[in-house]
Amino acid sequence: MSSDSYDHKRIESKWQARWKSRRAGEVDLRNSRDAYYMLVMFPYPSGDRLHVGHGRNYIMGDALYRYLRMRGRRPLNPMGWDSFGLPAENAAIERQVHPYDWTLGNIAAMKEQFLRWGILYDWSRELSSCTPEYYRWNQWLFVKMLEKELAYKREAPVNWCPSCQTVLANEQVVEGRCERCRTEVVQKTLSQWFLRITDFAERLLDNLDGLDGWPERVKVMQRNWIGRSEGAELDFELPDHGETLTVFTTRPDTVHGATFMVLAPEHPLVPRLIADSPDRSEIEGWVEKVRNTPRIQRETEERDKEGRDTGAFAVNPATGDRIPIWLADYVLPDYGTGSIMAVPAHDGRDLEFARQRGLAVRLVYHPEDEAVDAATMTEPVLHRGVIRNAPPFDGQHDGPDTVARFIDWIEEQGWGRRKVTYRLRDWLISRQRYWGTPIPVVYCDGCGIVPVPESELPVTLPYDVEFTGRRGNPLERHEGFLAAVCSKCGGAARRETDTMDTFVDSSWYFLRYLSARDDERIFDSKLAAEWCPVDQYIGGIEHAILHLLYARFVTLVLREFGLIEFEEPFTNLFNQGMITRFSEESGRIEKMSKSRGNTISPDRLIDEMGADTERVYTLFLGPPDEEVEWNQEAVSGAYRFLNRVWRAAEKLAEAPPTGPADDELERLRHVAIERVTRDMEKFKFNTVVAALMELMNALGKALEERTASRLTCEQTFDTLLMLLHPFAPHLTEELWEARGHPENLLESQWPSYDEAKLQASRVTIVVQIDGKLRDRLDVAVEAAESEVVDAVMASPKVEQHLEGREVAKTILVPGRLINLVTRPSA
RNA sequence: GCGAAAGUGGCGGAAUGGCAGACGCGCUAGACUUAGGAUCUAGUCCCGCAAGGGGUGGGGGUUCGAGUCCCCCCUUUCGCACCA
């Protein structure tokens, strides 16, 4: 860049060194007056080179932080590292680097990056989830939950690579094959640990209504995920087996149309039902195949419904008919009861299956306007119709009311009961991997599963393990780790080798920041009461469901434990949009990422134009909550703006203007304060930058033309520096200091504006005739209505357009416009 | 299929129901320069010489007045998706 540009390198390193040495972001939590807890989602130190797209939420967070400080708050803005995770273990396997060392190196690099961006955090409470000081409290939490039966162990399927002999995460399964060795992945059943989030389904759902500070779309996604369905459980007798088959349905009012039953192949009753079937071995083979199909494949692929006839029968309680029992893979084992009554006439999936197998179709609802024949229909009747063939309800119409009365009636008949079902499933936290929090239990031959007592926590992860990428979890081959003592009987025991899902780490970290160095307890309840819930959380939309739901769940659990009193962890949530860029590889606009080769390195950008330029441009390039495209050429606009600010300072010092007091510049100063303050509160950073550019343009003009007074220009410039500080902290601090102010900008008071000064003394009134713009008039702001009307009537343009017409009505919006509504002259 | 959000210049995008296109990029012309990828000035929605007319995905409506509110349609993006 040109030597005419300001020396951003010198300025930025100077201020970064000062902030570091003065630990500028630290907060004394004991003084909680005006407590404001803001939180930017802690990052996973992945080892990828950071690019400008990563900076967006941290830069936004820092702008907000600096703004809040200048508004007189003492915001807490901590940062830490979500440092357990799969990439570390992959790096260990591929590059023979220990995950711990690899992670530590990445953290150091990222921390350096935050410094270079000029971002202030309270590093005195930095935490890293892969340290025993942190994960010991994951273990503590787990043991507590085990005590309260909120944690339990059961069989559950996992993705299994037969060649690597290891469990795969969903993201390691690519097109049904192992990401590393391309072997076809199968489903395998292992005994695994779960947390009972389903106990809280209703609270998690109901509380969403009170989260006014959350984006609607996140709440919608969580509602869908929890998936509440109201309906009934119905009992179907199996007379030949002396059993009762219970199904869940949201449409119990269609029970008369249930012409067959379908069970998930995994349903526990299946072996008994097929025991006498001539096709028994074939069916067993098929069930086994379905069982081994990875769940992702079964759920995501568009495929024909596969099924088998068990040869067994159930009795429809409403009709008394014997109806066949089928197995099909479109019925899922872990939703509802894992079995359904099939009503092909009123359900698309059931109809499709019935048509393929030639099963009976029986209509309950008949559309009034069109004749539908059960024997030939190809589309289910889903809309409202008249009920027939359902005796006490004959002639009625469908609707929530009818369904509710139908359920009452069903209960009277003793066929079933009202029931609410959730789609949400318990949280599977077991991971058959090394790099995570060890689950603190031991297996004792005599005592069974025994939790590790609190006094023996943490169960630390051994450092000396071998990474081969084959044959499962390295912890299983570490004798020193495996050998344990049962705390109940004192006998030899074997330690659990599963580690926890990393979402456990992030589900409560916001509480740990408050007590980051406390080795007596998970966190201090008193501090939590004063600082929580988090006032403002900033993070990407990718966490809309899992992380944010788990954090809400754990908050409810901690409340049950009596450690906190609030139910919801995050009062306000802001989702920043991603930064995208055109990718040469795909020819499309995509999220920035290393693999797509469309990244921009912040290092080079900072070298060339400075961190302040990157910050200003990042916040200027579009609405903060929307996805925006990085335009490398447009960055120079931000750079030019900052250079203009620099030159304005030079001009002000070297050749101050000597004009008269300039009311208009003073007015624009107040307008800028008002606009910037209002938009900061709404996170509209892009329009804040625009407002600052406008103020700079006005000031630049005054300085150039030497029209304003020195005092007005200096006041305007100081205001500009204050308003710009959250965006360009280095440059503004430097110029503020050069202007001779003793306090740093960061410690200064945000400027206030005078309502009375926002109004110009003369305003342009827009003159409309019948809603169309015809003229503009310059009038004094305090002009009376009659004066304005007189002035309008005197306008030649108005006269011209009023020819042959007369004014029927006049609408005057003071200070803005006048609209003359006309009609033909009499 | 269900649910949600959004469609504005060459581009990113502004606009408490009140001058559409702020601000920035790009572009055009000029000034200063040995030079310009620096800086400054002016211009830049479309048609038209002008007066004027048209214009915020399409169609309707409410209103003195609609990018903004309501209804229908189209398109795009996102989320969920065999959830009984």
Report pLDDT digits (tens) over A547-583.
999 999 999 999 999 999 999 999 999 998 888 887 7
Q: What is the mean pLDDT of residues A43-72?
A: 91
Measured CA to C1', what is the nucleotide nearest A231? B84
User: How many Cα neighbours within 13 Å face the side chain of A695?
Assistant: 32
Asked if residue A286 has pLDDT above 50, the reply is yes
Helix (H, G, I), strand (E, B) or coil at A390: coil
CA–CA dist A75, A746 (Å, integer): 12
In sequence order, the 6+-apart residues with CB closer than 8 A to the CB of A663 are A761
pLDDT confidence band for A485 (50 / 70 / 90): very high
Q: A379 near A288, Cβ under 8 Å? A: no
Torsion of CA A667, A673, A674, A678, to 10 degrees: 160
Q: A702 near A648, Cβ under 8 Å? A: no
Measured CA to C1', what is the nucleotide nearest A337? B84
Using the structure, give the distance in angstroms from the CA atom of A394 to the C1' atom of B66, rounded to a whole number. 50
A751-757 contact pairs (CB < 8 A, 24+): A751/A673, A751/A719, A751/A722, A751/A723, A752/A673, A753/A670, A753/A671, A753/A673, A753/A674, A753/A677, A754/A670, A757/A666, A757/A667, A757/A670
Measured CA to C1', what is the nucleotide nearest A644? B39
pLDDT confidence band for A132 (50 / 70 / 90): very high
Using the structure, give the distance in angstroms from the CA atom of A155 to the C1' atom of B80, rounded to a whole number. 27
Using the structure, give the distance in angstroms from the CA atom of A77 to the C1' atom of B72, rounded to a whole number. 49
Q: Nearest residue to B78, CA vs C1'?
A: A217
CA–CA dist A808, A272 (Å, integer): 88
Residue A307 CB-density burial (10 A; 0-12 exposed, 13-18 middle, 19+ buried)? buried
pLDDT for A1 equals 36
Using the structure, give the distance in angstroms from the CA atom of A651 to the C1' atom of B16, rounded to a whole number. 38
Using the structure, give the distance in angstroms from the CA atom of A697 to the C1' atom of B28, rounded to a whole number. 22
Q: Nearest residue to B2, CA vs C1'?
A: A224
CA–CA dist A431, A84 (Å, integer): 12
Say what the pTM is: 0.93
Asked if residue A299 has pLDDT above 80, the reply is no
Q: What is the mean pLDDT of residues A271-279?
A: 93
Q: Nearest residue to B36, CA vs C1'?
A: A2
Q: Nearest residue to B77, CA vs C1'?
A: A627
CA–CA dist A723, A731 (Å, integer): 12
Tokens representing A254 are 């269609």
In sequence order, the 6+-apart residues with CB closer than 8 A to the CB of A587 are none
For residue range A762-791, list pLDDT tens digits in order. Answer: 788 888 888 888 888 888 877 788 888 888
Residues A487-526: b if buried by 16+ CB within 10 A, e if exposed: beeeeebebbbbbbbbbbbbbbbbbbbbbbeeeeebbbbe
CA–CA dist A61, A180 (Å, integer): 38
Torsion of CA A603, A605, A608, A613, to 10 degrees: -120
Measured CA to C1', what is the nucleotide nearest A620? B24
Q: What is the mean pLDDT of residues A406-418?
A: 94
DSSP letter string, A461-494: PPS-----S-SS-GGGG-HHHHEEE-TTT--EEE
pLDDT for A373 equals 86
Residue A288 CA, chain-centre distance (Å), reads 38
Q: A187 near A296, Cβ under 8 Å? A: no
Q: Three-state SS string across A227-257, please?
A: CEEEEEEEEEEECCCCEEEEEEECCHHHHHH
pLDDT for A2 equals 40
Q: Nearest residue to B40, CA vs C1'?
A: A704
A430 - beta bridge partners? A500
- Cα Rg of chain A, angstroms: 34
pLDDT for A609 equals 93
Tokens representing A623 are 């609405």
Using the structure, give the distance in angstroms from the CA atom of A241 to the C1' atom of B49, rounded to a whole number. 96
Specify the residue for token string 């949201």.
A250
Using the structure, give the distance in angstroms from the CA atom of A620 to the C1' atom of B11, rounded to a whole number. 15
Using the structure, give the distance in angstroms from the CA atom of A601 to the C1' atom of B36, rounded to a whole number. 27
Using the structure, give the distance in angstroms from the CA atom of A132 to the C1' atom of B16, rounded to a whole number. 53
Q: A42 near A82, Cβ under 8 Å? A: yes
Asked if residue A796 has pLDDT above 70, the reply is yes
Using the structure, give the distance in angstroms from the CA atom of A202 to the C1' atom of B61, rounded to a whole number. 42
Asked if residue A113 has pLDDT above 60, the reply is yes
CA–CA dist A459, A261 (Å, integer): 49
Q: A322 near A340, Cβ under 8 Å? A: no
Using the structure, give the distance in angstroms from the CA atom of A679 to the C1' atom of B26, rounded to a whole number. 27
Closest CA to A448 of A482, A483, A494, A498: A494
Measured CA to C1', what is the nucleotide nearest A800? B51
Beta strands (DSSP E) in A521-562 are 534-540
Fill in the amino acid letter for A139.
Q
User: How many Cα neighbours within 13 Å face the side chain of A224?
Assistant: 8
Using the structure, give the distance in angstroms from the CA atom of A766 to the C1' atom of B67, rounded to a whole number. 19
Q: Nearest residue to B64, CA vs C1'?
A: A821
Using the structure, give the distance in angstroms from the CA atom of A115 to the C1' atom of B50, rounded to a whole number. 61
Residue A481 CB-density burial (10 A; 0-12 exposed, 13-18 middle, 19+ buried)? buried
Q: What is the mean pLDDT of residues A641-657?
A: 91
Measured CA to C1', what is the nucleotide nearest A348? B82
Element (H, E) at A550: helix A546-560
Asked if residue A79 has pLDDT above 80, the reply is yes
Measured CA to C1', what is the nucleotide nearest A304? B82
Q: Which nucleotides of B are covered by protein (CB under 7 A)?
A: 3-5, 11-16, 18-20, 22-26, 36-41, 52-54, 64-66, 78-84
Q: Nearest residue to B6, CA vs C1'?
A: A626
Measured CA to C1', what is the nucleotide nearest A349? B82
CA distances from A771 to A767, A791, A797, A817 (A): 9, 18, 15, 10
Beta strands (DSSP E) in A121-165 are 151-161
Q: Which residue did the predictor score with more confidence, A826 or A627?
A: A627
DSSP state of A655: S
Q: Which of A441-450, A578-587, A707-716 has the lowest mean pLDDT?
A: A578-587
pLDDT confidence band for A756 (50 / 70 / 90): confident
Closest CA to A724 of A762, A697, A685, A756: A685
Q: A76 near A32, Cβ under 8 Å? A: no
pLDDT for A21 equals 95
Measured CA to C1', what is the nucleotide nearest A693? B23
pLDDT confidence band for A742 (50 / 70 / 90): very high
Using the structure, give the distance in angstroms from the CA atom of A769 to the C1' atom of B71, rounded to a whole number. 29
In sequence order, the 6+-apart residues with CB closer than 8 A to the CB of A709 are A657, A658, A659, A660, A661, A662
Measured CA to C1', what is the nucleotide nearest A295? B82
Q: A459 near A465, Cβ under 8 Å? A: no
Element (H, E) at A693: helix A685-705
Measured CA to C1', what is the nucleotide nearest A352? B82
What integer best gives the mean pLDDT of chain A? 90
Q: Which of A8-12, A409-413, A657-661 has the lowest mean pLDDT?
A: A657-661
A765 - beta bridge partners? A777
For residue range A671-700, list pLDDT tens digits in order. Answer: 999 999 999 999 999 999 999 999 999 999
Q: Nearest residue to B25, CA vs C1'?
A: A634
Using the structure, give the distance in angstroms from the CA atom of A4 to the C1' atom of B39, rounded to a whole number. 9
DSSP letter string, A569-638: SEEEEEEEPPEEEEETTTTEEEE--GGGT----HHHHHHHH-HHHHHHHHHHSS-TTS-EE--GGGHHHH
CA–CA dist A667, A762 (Å, integer): 12
CA–CA dist A814, A436 (Å, integer): 66
CA–CA dist A593, A49 (Å, integer): 9
Measured CA to C1', what is the nucleotide nearest A628? B12
Q: A374 near A362, Cβ under 8 Å? A: yes
Measured CA to C1', what is the nucleotide nearest A634? B25
Using the structure, give the distance in angstroms from the CA atom of A433 to the C1' atom of B77, rounded to a whole number. 37
Using the structure, give the distance in angstroms from the CA atom of A682 to the C1' atom of B68, rounded to a whole number. 19
pLDDT for A303 equals 66
Q: A437 near A460, Cβ under 8 Å? A: no
In sequence order, the 6+-apart residues with CB closer than 8 A to the CB of A725 are A66, A70, A732, A733, A736, A745, A746
Q: Nearest residue to B82, CA vs C1'?
A: A330
Using the structure, give the distance in angstroms from the CA atom of A335 to the C1' atom of B13, rounded to a whole number. 46
Measured CA to C1', what is the nucleotide nearest A696? B23
pLDDT confidence band for A3 (50 / 70 / 90): very low
Using the structure, give the distance in angstroms from the CA atom of A814 to the C1' atom of B54, rounded to a whole number. 29
Measured CA to C1', what is the nucleotide nearest A801? B52
Q: Which residue did the predictor score with more confidence, A69 or A385?
A: A69
Using the structure, give the distance in angstroms from the CA atom of A575 to the C1' atom of B10, rounded to a whole number. 31
Using the structure, give the distance in angstroms from the CA atom of A538 to the C1' atom of B37, rounded to a whole number. 38
For residue range A330-382, list pLDDT tens digits in order. Answer: 998 889 999 999 999 999 889 999 999 999 999 998 887 667 888 888 888 87
pLDDT confidence band for A302 (50 / 70 / 90): low
Using the structure, give the distance in angstroms from the CA atom of A633 to the C1' atom of B25, rounded to a whole number. 7
What totals of helices (H) and strands (E) does chain A contain, helices first?
A: 26, 32
Helix axes A635-654, A685-705, angle to 10 degrees: 40
Q: What is the mean pLDDT of residues A67-84?
A: 95
Measured CA to C1', what is the nucleotide nearest A763? B19
pLDDT confidence band for A297 (50 / 70 / 90): low
Specify the residue for token string 């990052």.
A43
CA–CA dist A72, A581 (Å, integer): 38
pLDDT for A439 equals 97
Specify the residue for token string 């809400």.
A552
Measured CA to C1', what is the nucleotide nearest A764? B19
DSSP letter string, A742-810: SS-GGGSPPP---GGGGS-SEEEEEEEETTEEEEEEEEETT--HHHHHHHHHT-HHHHHHTTTEEEEEE
